[in-house]
Amino acid sequence: MSLIRLTIPGTLDYRDLAVRVVAAACKLVAHRDDVSEDARAEFDMHVVSAFGEAFNNVAIHSYKGRAVGPLDIEIEVGVGEITLRIADHGPGYDPLDVKEPDLDELPESGMGLFIMREFMDSVSYQAGAPNVLSMTKKLTEKEIGGVA
């Protein structure tokens, strides 16, 4: 397993750079013979989407109304698996306080955590100094079209 660490200012200006790193890291997740190109493409798409939402939350919520702090990203590139840890130095929050979006009501916000949870295998958040959001996803063939 290999480790990638990226530290950037926690502002949206650095979103594109960070997303590119995550996309490149996905490509480094070791191939397995039994995984199709479609499954890989879906894996990349899900990880990049989830990461984008996590990045937004740090830039928009963690450092809202205070000095912008750093955003630390740790990526574990494993065999058929990726883990992202996103750390910020904001006040932290309790994700359990956040209501699931009611999709029938066509919400215009509050979909970020939902996207992360749906697209990754596991998402956890540990408030502290720093706050750390961890997300993991396995690259498996069942990804295709969401068929289990």
Ligand X SMILES: Nc1ncnc2c1ncn2[C@@H]1O[C@H](COP(=O)(O)OP(=O)(O)O)[C@@H](O)[C@H]1O
Residues of this chain that interact with a second copy (CB under 8 A) are 2-9, 13-14, 16-17, 20-21, 24-25, 27-28
Any idea which residue has 């984008």 for tokens?
A: 52
Choose the contact partner of 36 out of other proteins, a second copy, ligand X, none; CB within 5 to 8 A by kind.
none
Phi, psi of 22 (to 5 degrees): -65, -40
| Non-local CB neighbours of 120 within 8 Å, separated by 6+ positions | 46, 47, 50, 135, 136, 137
Between the alpha carbon of residue 101 and those of residues 23, 95, 118, the distances in Å are 27, 13, 12
**Residue placing its CB nearer to ligand X in the complex, 67 or 148:** 67
For ligand X, the binding residues in 36-55 under the rule CB under 6 A are: 53
Choose the contact partner of 3 out of other proteins, a second copy, ligand X, none; CB within 5 to 8 A by kind.
a second copy
Choose the contact partner of 48 out of a second copy, ligand X, other proteins, none; CB within 5 to 8 A by kind.
other proteins
Shortest separation between residue 32's beta carbon and other proteins, angstroms = 21
Does 24 bind other proteins (CB under 8 A)? Our answer is no
CB 101 within 8 A of CB 110: yes
CB 112 within 8 A of CB 133: no
Interface with ligand X (CB under 6 A):
53, 57-58, 61-62, 90, 93, 98, 109-113
